[in-house]
């Protein structure tokens, strides 16, 4: 049990939509936390399944948590980003943490994070992650990088550190005092518009190099590699918002350009893999901005796609993607 008297209150924000297969495990992990001073805010984003009934059923087994749990109901489905924003606005805790409703956390997640935050006077605490697959789980500490604020922000913007907002805990004042919000209507890449700002506005960050958050990959409804135009449109909005925030502070222009090129390469591969409308994609991406001095910032596949796109040799890009996909598939089948 957490030893500090007058321990800070922590708000756990959980968006809920279409997770009836996973929400019970998530709830048990939240209600079983060793840390006492919590409020747990579920945001029902107009889910069509039995997720809310399951939350209520699990809660009935945890009398000590009933007064700490609230369920906010959206009248229409607004998406993950809006659901998180609803939770942030409702939060009354000194700290905020985000848990996706198909994921779960270790029972000492909050306790260890708050202990670290209080002892070292931290604004943000970042933990390791368990990546949960159907047949295995993998510990990941890539989010536990440099504790220098500027360096960490730079690496997140350039997509060298993960940009997810889960697996971390933040002072609520970072949101309130710096006017940081989740972009409404966004359902892809939404964390990228939030995490760099939270880290940048922190005075001090710290890490717990232990996997405390379980990120579930086998929920097929939560993410897809299939190309969607909405995903590309969301990425454009997220980048625009993030670029505006940091350009006003005259920071990280190079990193924003690198980020733009990385998701440009992602888009090129996706449209060629799925035979999507190239002209529509190019219109959304905008003019190529690849410079050869950026070469060192990308892997070989990204560099090939970006150089060919820069030279307007997109027919060669299409051939390259088709061939590389076929070769990778052949290699996997052999294994």
Q: Provide the Cα torsion 144, 148, 152, 154; round to 10°.
A: -160
**DSSP notation for 171-226:** EHHHHHHTT--PPTT--SSGGGGTHHHHHHH-S-EEEEEEEEEEEE---TTT---S
What span, in angstroms and rounded, lies between the C-alpha atoms of 310 and 224? 28
Query: Above 50 in pLDDT, residue 2?
Result: no
* CA 207 – CA 141 distance, rounded (Å): 10
Is the domain of 165 the same as that of 290?
Answer: no
Cα–Cα distance between 210 and 129 in angstroms, integer? 8
Looking at 216, 247, 269, the residue that finishes a domain is 216
Does residue 98 share a domain with residue 196? yes
Residue 292 is predicted with a pLDDT of 86
Per-residue pLDDT, 226 = 56
Across the range 135-164, mean pLDDT stands at 96
233 occurs within a structural domain: yes
CA distance 9 to 75: 28
Q: Taking all residues of the chain, what is their mean pLDDT, rounded to a whole number? A: 91
Query: Quick one: 324 and 209 in the same domain?
Result: no
| Residue 330: pLDDT over 50 | no
* Whether 18 and 48 share a structural domain: yes
Sign of CA dihedral 232, 233, 236, 239: negative
Note down the domain range covering 237.
229-334
Looking at the fold, whether 53 and 160 belong to one and the same domain comes out as yes
Residue 5 lies in a domain: no
User: Which 3-state string (H, E, C) describes 294-307?
Assistant: HHHHCCHHHHHHHH
Looking at the domain assignment, is residue 299 inside a domain? yes
Does residue 222 belong to any structural domain of this protein? Answer: no
Pairing, β 205-216 against β 124-132: parallel
pLDDT over 90 (residue 333): no
Arithmetic mean of pLDDT, 104-112:
98
Strand partners, 12: 40, 97
> Residue 3 — pLDDT band, cuts 50, 70, 90?
very low
pLDDT band at 221 (very low <50, low <70, confident <90, very high): low
250 and 108 both lie in a single domain: no
Residue 296 to residue 154: CA distance in whole angstroms: 16
Q: Is 134 in the same domain as 166?
A: yes
Point out the least confidently predicted range of 110-119, 150-159, 225-234, 317-326. Answer: 225-234
Question: Which of the two residues, 99 and 289, has the higher pLDDT score?
Answer: 99
pTM, entire model: 0.91
Distances (CA, A) of 105 to 6, 9, 195, 217, 329: 24, 18, 19, 15, 35
Residues 37 and 186 both lie in one domain:
yes
Q: What is d(CA 103, CA 111) in angstroms, rounded to the nearest whole number?
A: 18
Q: Which residue has the higher pLDDT, 44 or 187?
A: 44
pLDDT at 64: 95
- CATH code (residue 208): 3.90.550.10
CA 26 to CA 136: how far, in whole Å? 19
The yes-or-no verdict on residue 287 having pLDDT over 90 is no
Rounded distance, CA 87 to CA 40, Å? Answer: 9
Q: Domain check: are 236 and 310 in the same one? A: yes
User: Strand, helix or coil at 107?
Assistant: coil
Look at residue 223 and tell me if it is in a domain: no
In tens, the pLDDT along 247-277 reads 999 999 999 999 999 999 999 998 998 888 9
Q: Please say whether the beta carbons of 83 and 53 come within 8 A.
A: no
Query: Does residue 224 lie within any of the structural domains?
Result: no
- Residue 221 in domain: no
Tell me which residue has tokens 């990193």. 255
Domain boundary among 151, 184, 216: 216
**Tokens 């990088």 — which residue?**
145
pLDDT band with cut points at 50, 70 and 90 for residue 224: very low
Are residue 206 and residue 271 in the same domain, yes or no?
Answer: no
Statement to judge: residues 51 and 186 lie in one domain: yes
Of 191, 216, 241, the last residue of a domain is: 216
Q: Are residues 196 and 238 in the same domain?
A: no
| Average pLDDT rounded to a whole number, residues 58-83 | 96
Q: Which residue has the higher pLDDT, 18 or 335?
A: 18
Using the CB atoms, write b or e for 28-37: b if 16+ within 10 Å.
ebbbebebeb
Q: Alpha-carbon distance 197 to 179, whole Å?
A: 10
Averaged pLDDT, 192-217: 97
pLDDT above 50 (res 184)? yes
Of 210-224, 264-278, 319-333, the poorest mean pLDDT is in 319-333
Q: Does some domain include residue 161?
A: yes
Q: How many domains is the chain partitioned into structurally?
A: 2
- Residue 288 has a pLDDT of 73
């Amino acid at each position: 049990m957490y030893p500090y008297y007058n321990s800070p209150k922590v708000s756990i924000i959980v968006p809920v939509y279409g997770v009836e297969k996973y929400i019970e495990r998530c709830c048990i992990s939240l209600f079983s936390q060793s840390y006492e001073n919590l409020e747990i805010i579920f945001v029902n984003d107009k889910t069509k399944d039995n997720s809310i009934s399951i939350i209520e059923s699990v809660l009935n087994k945890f009398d000590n948590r009933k007064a700490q749990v609230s369920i906010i109901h959206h009248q229409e489905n607004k998406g993950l980003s809006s659901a998180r924003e609803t939770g942030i606005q409702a939060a009354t805790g000194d700290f905020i943490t985000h848990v996706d409703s198909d994921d779960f956390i270790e029972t000492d997640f909050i306790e260890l994070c708050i202990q670290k935050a209080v002892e070292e006077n931290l604004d943000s605490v970042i933990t390791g992650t368990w990546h949960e697959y159907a047949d295995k789980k993998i510990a990941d500490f890539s989010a536990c990088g440099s504790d220098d604020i500027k360096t960490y922000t730079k690496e997140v913007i350039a997509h060298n550190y993960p940009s997810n907002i889960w697996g971390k805990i933040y002072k609520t004042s970072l949101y309130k005092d710096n006017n940081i919000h989740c972009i409404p209507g966004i359902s892809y890449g939404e964390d990228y518009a939030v995490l760099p700002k939270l880290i940048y506005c922190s005075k001090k960050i710290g890490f717990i190099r232990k996997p405390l958050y379980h990120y579930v990959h086998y929920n097929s409804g939560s993410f897809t590699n299939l190309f969607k135009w909405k995903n590309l449109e969301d990425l454009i909005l997220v980048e625009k918002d993030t670029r505006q925030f940091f350009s006003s502070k005259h920071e990280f222009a190079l990193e924003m350009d690198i980020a733009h090129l990385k998701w440009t390469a992602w888009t090129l591969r996706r449209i060629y893999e799925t035979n999507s409308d190239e002209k529509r994609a190019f219109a959304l991406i905008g003019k190529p901005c690849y410079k050869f001095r950026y070469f060192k910032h990308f892997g070989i596949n990204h560099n090939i796609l970006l150089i060919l796109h820069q030279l307007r040799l997109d027919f060669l890009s299409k051939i390259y993607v088709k061939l590389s996909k076929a070769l990778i598939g052949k290699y996997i089948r052999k294994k």
